[in-house]
Structure 1
Amino acid sequence: MAKVCELCGKGPRVGNNVSHANNKTKRVWQPNLQRVRSLVGKRVRRLRVCTRCIRSGKIVKPPVRRLV
């Protein structure tokens, strides 16, 4: 399962850790992905979405299920 947002395509970014002695080691920044139930068309799907897409309202959450 790729660490990519299914809406905006945001994925891992590569850079360096830089120490006080200016030593550089490679590192990866991962996006903050959450599994969210979302309305896609008229169906409910589970999507892996970054928190920026959730906060900006790019997803529509379905109504709460009532367990009877």
Structure 2
Amino acid sequence: MAKCDICGKGVSFGIQVSHSHKRSNRMWKPNIKRVKAVVDGTPKRVYACTRCLRSGKVTRAV
């Protein structure tokens, strides 16, 4: 469920490399918050990443 409803940012995958150079899969999750935002004039709960919150793409409902 780690996906932003505003920009669509989701998990990304990569390889974790240990000191002995043993490789294993890992994932990076975006910083997602469940906030009450104004969508189409009505307050609604959405999942938004903190970059969208900080940049002003989401108008918070009070």
TM-score by length of 1: 0.84
Is 1:9 equivalent to 2:8 in the alignment?
yes
What's the CA shift for 1:50?
A: 0.5
Cα RMSD (Å):
0.9
Percent identical pairs in the alignment equals: 42
Gaps of 5+ in 1: none
TM-score by length of 2: 0.92
What's the CA shift for 1:33?
A: 0.5
Is 1:25 equivalent to 2:44 in the alignment?
no
Matches for 1:30-41 after TM superposition, within 5 Å: 30-41=29-40
2:41 and 2:8 map into 1 onto residues whose CA distance is 23
Aligned length: 62
What's the CA shift for 1:51?
A: 0.6
Aligned AA (2:7): C
Larger RCO (CA within 8 A; separation ≥ 6): 2
1:37 and 1:60 map into 2 onto residues whose CA distance is 9
Q: After the TM superposition, list the runs of 4 or more consecutive aligned residues in structure 1 that deviate by more than 6 angstroms.
A: none
